[in-house]
Every structure is written in structure tokens, then in C-alpha cells.
Chain A
Amino acid sequence: MELKIKIICFIALLVSPIGAVKEFSEFHEELYIRPTSSGHVNTFFQFTTRWHYGDRENLHNTQLIPRPIAETLLLYDVKELHIGLTQGLWRYETFGYPVVDSAPGAEVRAWFAAENLTSADVDDQWTKLASTFSGILCASLNFIDKTNSVEPKYSFRPTFATGSKVNVPQFVRYATLPREIVCTENLTPWKKLLPCNSKQSFASLLNSGYVHNTNYHSLGMKMRTICESHNTNCILEFTETANMVYDPKLLGANGDFSLRRLFGQGLNGHCALAKSSKIYVNLDDQSYDLTPLPMYNTTSKRGGSTSTFGVYDIQRLDGDKLFNIAWIKSKNNKPSILLTPPPPLYAHRYILGHGQERGQIVTQITNKHYHALPIVFQENIPWFVPSYMHTLKLIVQPSNGVEYQIQPRVMHYIPGVQRVRPYHLELLFEIPAMSTVQISFDFDYIFLKWLEYPPDANHGHYLGSAIITTQLPIGRNYTAIPIDKHLFVDSFNATRSSYFLEIRTESLILSLPTPDFSMPYNVICLACTVVALAFGPIHSVATKRIVIEQKDGQPQSLKGKVLQKLFRRKQNNAGNSTKEVEQHEKLLFGQAAADISIRKN
């Protein structure tokens, strides 16, 4: 579809800068700070390394790029890789759109491309790649395998370029681990991948103590290769991003904040290897006064919306005292309710129903824009949530008017198989202007094998978040970096025909029916005992014989009874076969007063 065409032209854009450039490698560090409409503060770090490594062999000799990254390119046919480790949820209504979006937990996505590459060995490489990076980032990405990764068809588009004219097969893989928890042991190795150590440079601001007290923080890593012709004259682009949202209320001090308050210390110089190290401050929110004032301001017109940024060039800074910027709520300020309208598109997801038989997963996509938008919706449901697509419904609820049902333009559905592959659903449809679409389908709650339950099983199982991609006609609170560029500064004045947007929904928690794990052995024992008890009588009934015999003149007195009992016992001891005979003829008359006794033959 028309995405494809786009990609082609992108490649053209990407490749053009290379040309005859000789081998170079450069490093940029950027920090972008923006107070959001809800009074939160969004800080976004981006460390970009670009290396024109030429031919493949040269990947053995790394300079600014960390060695492991280069080696992955050598080991696997991966051309583009995105990894996100995120804690908390990005709230689009209040925060606007992030520069880089990522789902709660861990998220990995990779493009593979090479001549005569088959899907099978891509699967193999994919798991290996994941476990490699779980080693590098100390995250449990090694749990990624076929059972939880999908192959999206429409949602993602490649941003790499294998300039070869012959079309090499391309494969994409995507997986999320929503249960993953991000903390210090991910941050430290992440920082180690930077060329400069974290004493100087912007990385010095990322202290675990402060990073993990934010309302949202997301460590990102992006790697892509841009080749002029296949595997020769290539550029490797390696970007590390850290996206955080602070809540000044929690920092104390009525809404004022500063670098020192946010990060625990001021900025300590810049990385000596960096070609540029700049801080960009969004000035759209008038209600703050900055000290010191930015060195210069730039305004960026993009997609019909204009915004101004203050820039601090740290390399031009002299003096080795820690550099600090403070945002003070201006005294003369008007009511600080901002007039930033909500973003044009946002989504929510939740589970409906009660009881543990069946439920319904509902995703609500709201379009506040005054045009219809094309939507690609992707679900990645784990195998232990058997869901039924015949119950799939797309219900449009206009902001004014009665709701009606629509059909998706394209539906790409791969049903899951238990313990083998997840359910993967992709829908293409158009969301009408100023309305909400409710995508819902039913699923069953099932029992798992008792080894398949995670630790503390009663916490519930996680469902990764759905991804919604669209092309916005306007660039309002849209800050993503254009595909053919690599720096944050490139997003200024980058007006395009449309703006490619990815948003993610909440991840869900689902409590499957959970057994009592202290039980299994007891249950087996009990069951065995019961069977054993039942067996005895059944066996005797089936194989033993009941013989009737008459009591001769039954005595009324207790003594008599006793005597008789004894007498009978004596009889028993006597041989059987003869006895039976007489019993049987006795049996012919008067059975009224007979009583029954069993005898084992």
C-alpha cells in the first residue's frame, strides 16, 4: 500500500548524504525539556552516534560506537533495532505526544534483511539477538521467543536502507514483555554504551536515585544501518534516548523546578568527543521565567503549529562550576491553565466482564481531530488468552449522535496456538472525525499447566499494550524526529505532508484462575487413597458369591444367639463344598426368615 511508496522515497533521502564521504564518526548529545499542560515536566535525552563504517569488515574496528553493537551487526542480519525499557504509562491527554513512544515494560522490534534469508533463520536470529541484548542491558529480554513475538505487516515501517537494487527479503519481528520492571541495573549498562563516561557529559544527570522517582521513565535504544549499495559504504546510526516525566508537586516547592531539583545535581560540562551538546527548552508555556536566559531562541513551524525553543550550547559554556537552569513560576502570570488543546488522537484499553469464565478486551480510540484519520491497529495477545475474532466489533461513537458499527478495511489475523504462538491481529480502518471507535472482542479464561504460572501467580498475567499507528495531517504537539534525520534539532521546521504517529495503550493485568500450589502431591495421594478404598468393595462384589443359609430354629435369648454364632463359626471351618449343597436344598423352602451371610470361596 502507499506506505511502501513512501519507504522508497525515504531511502532516497537517506542515501543522498553519503555519496563519496570518507569514513567519519560523530557523536551528539541533546536534552529537551518541556513543561506539560498538566504541570508535569518532560525531559528527553538523546545521544546520537553516527559512523560511516564503509564496508562490513570494518565493523571489527570500532571507535565511538560500542563494540557489542557493531558485533551484533556482524553476527546477525539485523538492519534496524529498537529497544525500549519503560516504567509507567505515557498519558497522551495530559503529556501530549512523546518524541519516542514505547510501551510499558520491555519492548523490542527488529528488521532483518539479507539475501536468501528465510523466515526460519530469522526466528532463530531474533531469539539470539534478544538474549544478546538481555546480556548487554541486564534486562530479561531472553524470555522473548516464538511464543510471544509477532510479525507485524502494516504497523511498522523500516527506517533503514540496504541500498541494493535487487530486492532483498525483509523481515520484521516485534515482542513486548509488559511484566518487565526497569531499574538501576538497566540504567548502568545503558550508560556504559555511551562513548564518554558518566562523570562529565549529559549522562551525569541520569542518576538512578532521581530517574526512578519519576512518574514515567523510558530508556530507549535505536540502531539502524543506511547503506548506499548492499553492505558497502554504510552508515551505522546508534541512538540512545532517555525520556522522563517529573511531577513537580512531588518534588515539593510550588511548581518551580530546576535541573538540580530534577536530576539531583547541575550539569557537569559536556562530553569531549561530542560534536554538539545542546539543551533545548520549550518556551510555549509562558508561565515560567528561566534563569539563566537561553543563549538564543529558535522558533519551529511544523505542520501548521509554531513553537519556540530556548537553546543552551553547553560547549560554549566556560568555567567548571555545575551548570543549572531554573524554571520559576512568574509572579505576573495569568491563570496557569494552559490553552493547549488535547492531542488529536489517543487510546485506552480495558478488560470487561466479571467472573472467571469469559471476558472482553476493549480498546477505545478517540479522534479529536476534525478530519477522519487512517488507523492501523495492532493487538498482540499472548497464547494463554484464547480470543474469538468472530466477536470482533468496531463501534463508532460520534461525540454527538448515535453510535453505529463499521467494518475494517483490511484485517490481518493470525490465530494463536497454545504454547506455540500468540494471537496477532492487525486492523486497518478509518476513524471518523470527532468520534471514538470501540474495538472489542471476547476471550476465555483458561487453566494453565502448573509450571506455567509465573511467581506470585495471583498477581495476574500481563497483556502487552496495543499499538495504534496513523498519519496525522497536522503537527500539533508532535515532536518526533523525521525518519530521514537523526537529531532532535532536525525536528524543527521539519514540515512534511503527513506525520507518522505511533501511540500505545495501557498494558492490562488479567487474573487467570489459579490453583493452590501447595496441593498437587496431596491431591494425587488423596485420589489414590479414594480409588484404593473404592476398589476393595467393587472387587469383592464382582468376584465373590452370596450364599443363603437358614438358621435352624432361631433362639430368642441373647445367650442362644451367642451360642448359635459360635456354632456357625464351627460350621464355617468345616469344608465348604459339601455344605453349600445342603444349603441349597434348604434354600428351596421357607426363605421368609432367611438371613444372608457372605462366604468367601
Chain B
Amino acid sequence: MGLLSDPSLTPRGKFGRTLAKHSGKISLFFYIAGLAWFVCLSHPEFSHGTYLSENALSPGLVDPEIGQDSLRLAQSLYEELQRERTEHKSTTPHAWIAAKMHQIGLETHVHNFTLRYPFSAGKEYHGKNVYGILRAPRVSSTEGVVYAAPYRAVNSVHVDITASVPILLAFADFARKKNYWAKDLVFLVTEQEQLGMHAWLEAYHEGGIRDSPILRCGNLPARAGALQAALNLEVQDLDIDYIDVKIEGLNGQLPNLDMFNLVQRLTSRSSLSSGYKHSPRKKRRSHRGSLEDNLRHMLEMLKIQATGVPNGNHGLFHRYRIESLTLEAVKRTTNTNNNNRYGSGLSLLKTIEGISRSLNNLLERFHQSYFFYILVQNDRFVSIGDYMPCLIALASPMFIKAFLLWLTTTATTDETVSEDDSVPSHDEEKPPIQLPYISVVLFMVSALLLGFLCNTLPFSQHVRDYFTSMGVSTEMSVGLILGVQVLLGTLLPLFYTLPEHGLELLHIGVLIFMGVTLIVTGLLNFALGFILAVIISPLTILLNNEHSKGFRQNLTRLYTFLLNPIVIIYLLILWLTLFEFPELSFAELGMRALKASLDAITFGLMDSIIYGNWLYTAIAAIYFPLWILLWTLSLGRQNLITQLEKKTN
């Protein structure tokens, strides 16, 4: 507000000028401040202890009733299932599961779904989910809770989590005999990893009405009202070493903190070592709760969130505002204390019972505690109010600098004017109008247009068909499309010439654009926003419109070039492959990395098509254009010179 009435912030104002001079230092300061703030967050001083704010949950108020017999049932089911698996190598024993559910006395249904693979047309995958509903006697099917267990076929590449189905069924059997349920219990066995779960949820919430041609989910034969919460089980074995609680969801969404705390409390009650990003005991013992440990914790969390890919089936529920998380029970590797093997299995069942009964108490849907947070430890977290500042700090220099630039540009203009002493009345209209707004805006628009193409072309059916007809593999086609775009992007500044003052204006525009996008991204998915800010905002420091020595300029150009999305991806993959296969020669590495990165891009694309993960979109439609603009700026001077030369010739 002060700005309105305080005119001292003009280029003529000494203050203003000094600011303009030191803008680089200011941005640097802000940058460092932001990073420092983030590091500080790992310190206990800056994080709060977790607490349950929804009183209805009242975890562990009831003594667990589930007992040895349920565990025994689980074991026998486990053995049966193992036998089944010998027949079904690559498929799910649907019949067996359905039979078991029916036997327990659940209302059992099967849900079919079909995936037409978007590329290389015609290829279809069929899937089946089996689910049984335990109708709660107390209520008229208005609310429900989902207990899900993904099934992995024998020939799956992932870790074997066969034990989760028996555990689920054992719990279902226990629950069937109780009459205190106030929410329907849905016991769901999905296949094909997240695809199955996604299909089921789509069918539940869209009823096959808004089916995309790619994933046909159809409708569900039976429902259980509004789903309140979901618990996903990935049990590797009945003999459990520890439990890892996974929470990160699609596009970095998180379950309500209460849900996490609930699970945390109950697992700790039932003598299971568990936690977020949990690791086996021995490793854990080495460093406990140190700053560095906390920081690692936070960074890992951000890393997963940034990709926007859920690290478990729970992640797909969040979109429908269903609080959910995954209990990953890791099998015990060290075969110590054989006297009570499966003791841990029982305590897992107890945990599940506890959770289910707390959720059963729930009167309202989760709304009390935090939805945006970063876990520092299992029992400490940072709320959005505390971590947002560091993103702001990283983004703010852009606005400041933009403002200062604007001042200076206007200043320069009417300085030039005031040199020839004309009547003051004359210089009123002159200075601001002179800036070539139109051309600059056009330039930005064209950049965005490229981005838009990047985003849409691979999605469009025709293009896909065209390439498949040409017989080009998916990865190649996508790579081709993007490659062309990027090339265009890089060349754009060369054959699009800006008038004088154009660059300054563009610079201002870019800075504001950048700042806004970063903050918006940060609001939607903090991790992504933060990481991007960290890598991009150095440019704000480097870029400056005054004449700078060659080195700095080159440095800028190099950095900008590296920032190119494709380059980044490539380098990352290269880095990883370097670790994966150190033995390879450099050329092979390069090739392999290239292929891998193409795959990576394609997967990103698939994610966005099937699950609605918008990482790809964000990169292609916003950051790629942004990059083009930055690239232009970094080339800026030279570009102007060439243009001058053109004039002279």
C-alpha cells in the first residue's frame, strides 16, 4: 500500500537506483535465504509434533478382539493361495478369491476393465478386480471404507506381496462376525498394479459414463455409498520385520495427517516397528533423528511428490477426497527368533482391526487436520504455513527484479527524452508507449504455442495412428515429436527479431511469468514447485540486461541450455545408468541413456493419459515455453547485434 503514495521509488529516487544496481545481489540473497529456510525446517524447532485433532477416531480405545484363530485362517489361506499360484502363473486366481469371499459371507462381485493401449493401436489388456462388500447392519449403506490388497502374478517384476490377500480375507472373516459396523466394509483385490485400482475407482465414481476410449472401466454391480477412507495392504509375508507407511499420492497429494497419525499410533501400540520411509532396524540404529536424517527424510518425500507418481495404490484415492495410505509389511530377512514367527502377523491383524474400528467411529469425513504437510520424522511435521515461505523466497526475486527493470527501462526512456530539453508537457505521453508491447506479447504467445503443441500432439489419436502406420515404435514417435518441437524452440530466437527495448520488456515479462508459474505450481504440488524454483531461479541472478563480460554470458547460456527439459531428463538418466552399469563404454552408455530417457518420457505421457498425472503437461505446456523465452534472453545481446548488422547492411 505504501507504494501507492510513496513516490521515492522512481529511478530518480536514490533508493530506487541503488536497488536497481544491486538487483543481482538481492536476488542472490533471497535465493540463499530460501534454501537456508528449507534446511532450517529439518530442525525440531521449526516442526510441530503430530497430534490427532479428530476426536471421533479415538485410536486404540477398544482392545483388539482378533486372535490366533484369524491368524491361523490367514496361514491356511496363504498356503492354499500358494498352491493356486502354481497353476495361475500369469493371472489372478479370481475364482478362488471370489469363492473365499462368498464363503466368508460377503456380497461378492467381479469388476472387468479393458485398457486399449493408446499407442501401437489394437493392443488390449483385460483385467478383473474381485471385491466383496460386508453390509454394515447399523446403517443403510450410505458410507463405506475400502480395504484393498493388490495381487501380483507370479511372473511379476515387483516384490511378491501374495500374503496381503490372505491377511485381507482373514480380517474380512473376523469382521463378518461383528455387528458394530456403522460403515460398509469393501474388501477389494486388484490386479495389474495401479491400473486395476484406478479402473475400479473410475467405475465407482464415474459409473462408466465418462469412459475414455483408452481405459474402459464399465460400471460396478454394487456400491457402498460415499467412501470415507481406504487402507491398502502390501504384505510380503506373514512373518513381518517392519511396516513402511506410504502416503504420497497422485500429483503429490497426501492423505489427511490424522489418517497417518492414526496408523502410526496403532502400529506402535501393537509392538510393530513402523513409520514413514521406514528402513530395517540395523540401518536405522546408526543415526537417529539427526538433522541430516530429517533433511534426507524431507528430500525423499519431496522427490516422490515431485514426480507426481503415487508410490502405491492408495495414491489414486486422494483425487476423490478419500483419505488412504498403504501399509507395506516388509518380510523379515534375518531368520532370528523362530519361536514366535507369525507373532508379527497377528499384530498386523490387530493393527488393521484397530484402524478399521477407529474409522468406524468416524462421524464426519476427515476434515480436521492438515492436508498439506511435510513429514520430518514419524512424529514431527511441517505445515504449509511454515514451508511455503521458502518457495516465496525463491520466487520473490523475480518480481522484485521485474519491478526494478521496469523502473530502469522507463527511467532510461525518459532520460533520453529529457536530454533534448523539450517542454515537459510533451514528454508525458512518450516514455511508456514506446515499449514494443505487441511484438513481445506475440513472441511469448508463439513460445506458448510451441509448448501447447508439445502437449497436445502426442495425445492426438491421428498422430499416433499415423506413426503406428509408419511402423515407428511408440518411444521413437514421441521422441520425434518432442525433438522437433525442441529444435524449433531453440531456433525460435534466431529467426524472430525483437525491436529495441524488446529484450528488456521480454525480460520483465519472463520474470513475472516465471514467478507466477512457480508459485502456482507450488500451491498445487509444493515439491515440484520447489525443485523447479531451486534449479531455475539462479537464472534470475545470472540474467541481466546490462552489458556483461563474455564469461558470465557464456555461463548463463550454458546453464540455460542445460535447463532444457529434454537435456535435464537425458542427463539424469545418464547419471543413473552410469551408476547402474559402470562397466559400459561411454558411447553405449549414451545410447542406452537415450533409449531410457525416451521410455521415461513415454511413461510420463502414459501416466498423464491414463491416470491424469499432470507432470508431463506442466513440463511440456509451461516449462518448455518458459525455457524458450529464457533461452532467447540468454542469447539476447548477440541477437540484437545481428539485427543491427542487418540494419547496416
Contacts and interface: CB of A to CB of B under 8 A. Distances in A.
Contact between chain A and chain B defined by CB under 8 Å: yes
Contacts of B177: 249-250
A237 interface: no
A119 B210 CA distance: 44
B7 interface: yes
A350 B203 CA distance: 12
A392 to B, nearest CB: 14
B501 interface: no
Given A89-B141, A507-B140, A596-B8, A352 B206 contact: yes
Contact of A362 (B8, B207, B319): B207
B209 A352 contact: yes
A462 B13 contact: no
Interface string B210-247: 00000000000011011000000000000000000000
A537 interface: yes
B4 A538 contact: yes
A91 B135 contact: yes
A511 B321 CA distance: 11
Contacts of B363: 456, 459
Label chain B's interface by main secondary structure: loop
B2 A537 contact: yes
Nearest to A39: B105
A595 interface: yes
B65 interface: no
Contacts of A6: none
A43 to B, nearest CB: 15
Given A352-B209, A456-B364, A537 B4 contact: yes
A460 B226 contact: yes
Interface string A196-236: 00000000000000000111100000000000000000000
Contact of A511 (B8, B14, B319, B365): B365
B76 interface: no
A362 B223 CA distance: 12
Contacts of A215: 135, 137
Interface string B447-480: 0000000000000000000000000000000000
Interface residues of A, number: 50
Contacts of B268: none
B1 A506 contact: no
Given A250-B177, A353-B205, A506-B141, A459 B364 contact: yes
A596 B7 contact: yes
Contact of B1 (A89, A457, A537): A537
A316 interface: no
Interface string A111-148: 00000000000000000000000000000000000000
Contact of A88 (B2, B8, B138): B138
B209 A350 contact: no
Contact of A351 (B2, B10, B138, B226): B226
Contacts of A598: 5, 7
B48 interface: no
B143 interface: yes
A522 B14 CA distance: 41
B140 A104 contact: yes
Interface in A506-534: 506-511, 514, 533-534
A508 B178 CA distance: 24
B139 interface: yes
A354 interface: yes
A534 B363 CA distance: 43
Interface residues of B, number: 40
A247 B137 contact: yes
Contacts, number: 105
Given A88-B137, A354-B321, A456-B363, A249 B1 contact: no
Interface string B272-287: 0000000000000000
A130 to B, nearest CB: 22
A460 B365 contact: yes
A216 B105 CA distance: 17
B2 A459 contact: no
Contacts of A317: none
B418 interface: yes
A213 B225 contact: no
Nearest to B105: A249
A38 B10 CA distance: 83
A458 B365 contact: yes
Nearest to B2: A537
A352 B205 CA distance: 5
A558 B585 CA distance: 67
A187 to B, nearest CB: 16
A121 to B, nearest CB: 35
A537 B6 CA distance: 9
Contacts of A350: 207, 223, 225
Contacts of A508: 142, 225-226
Contacts of B1: 533-534, 536-537
A534 B12 CA distance: 26
A198 B429 CA distance: 96
Interface in B559-610: none
Nearest to B202: A354
A248 B140 CA distance: 19
Nearest to A594: B12
A540 interface: yes
Contacts of B418: 592
Contacts of B209: 352, 360, 440
B422 interface: no
Interface string A469-484: 0000000000000000
30 contacts: A87-B140, A88-B139, A89-B135, A89-B140, A89-B141, A105-B140, A249-B105, A250-B177, A353-B206, A354-B205, A354-B206, A456-B363, A456-B364, A459-B363, A460-B226, A460-B364, A460-B365, A506-B140, A506-B142, A508-B226, A509-B225, A511-B365, A534-B1, A537-B2, A544-B5, A546-B7, A595-B13, A596-B10, A598-B5, A598-B7
Interface of A: 87-89, 91, 104-105, 213-216, 247, 249-250, 348, 350-354, 360, 362, 440, 456-460, 462, 506-511, 514, 533-534, 536-538, 540-541, 544, 546, 591-592, 594-596, 598
Given A213-B179, A595-B12, 5 more contacts: A213-B137, A250-B178, A353-B206, A506-B141, A596-B8
